[in-house]
Amino acid sequence: MEKYRIRLWTALVVLAAGLPLKSAVDDRKADPVVQFYCAQARSVCAEHKPDEQALTYSLTATSYRNKVGERGAIAHVDSAVADFYFSSGTLDSQKTAVSTLKKIADIDFSYPNVFDQDYLFSFYPNDTGGKYLAIGFDTDSAGDPRPVGLAIIDRYEYSLHRLYLFYPHQAGYKRLSRTLHFVKHEGYIFPDSILELATRAGVFSTDHYRLETVISNIKINR
């Protein structure tokens, strides 16, 4: 289990560094306490996740896309402010107020219910016993395209607080990681900020970028 925890810590490091993660098979069953928290988080996420509840709502997104040049320097910045309208949990339309982004549709508000999948789950070490609990999730195959990473949940309410996702095999990308912070609004869990770090392979060049999105004005139609 110690080797597995080290591997999961490595997953968290590569989220920030954008490095690929080599998968391995853990030969132990998940701790029953881990299983308990995963079961509770799975249920809460399914019950309060807007798209799983076919919710109709709108929100405002303010995004900044930073093109990263050599040595991490910011080479160019684009921005956008737009309203997005979702019907039955699916994006229906959008209204752009201001934008220098070529493709504002690239903004992705979705996130997986990782607790509803057959991941290998483990507590992270050095748990402080505070309000939030960190649970790592990994796959058992190096070729699995699903994201791996770390979920931070409320220890008592079991709702998502933060989600770190690293995509080892995403089509069109050399590297891709996403970090989502969540807020509860009228009983549903919405991301209120999303950070995407990526390296996208092009025909003649490679695009390194940082896309930051802040979400506000969430309105639910009942």
Q: For residue 196, what pLDDT is reported?
A: 94
Q: Are 40 and 121 in contact (CB under 8 A)?
A: no
Instruction: Output helix, strand, coil percentages for the chain, rounded to the nearest 5.
Output: 20, 45, 35
Half-sphere exposure of 206 (CA within 13 A, CB side): 10
Q: For residue 115, what pLDDT is reported?
A: 96
Is pLDDT at 20 greater than 60 in this prediction? no
The torsion defined by the Cα of 210, 62, 87 and 149, in degrees rounded to 10, comes to 30
Is pLDDT at 188 greater than 80 in this prediction? yes
Mean pLDDT of 22-37: 64
Q: Where are the domains of the chain?
A: 2-221
Residue 135 pLDDT class (50, 70, 90 cuts): very high
Q: For residue 66, what pLDDT is reported?
A: 87
Residue 62 in tokens: 């303010």
Is pLDDT at 106 greater than 80 in this prediction? no
- CA 180 to each of CA 36, 109, 191: distance values in angstroms, whole numbers, following the listed order: 23, 9, 6
Q: For residue 7, what pLDDT is reported?
A: 46
pLDDT over 70 for what percent of the chain? Answer: 79
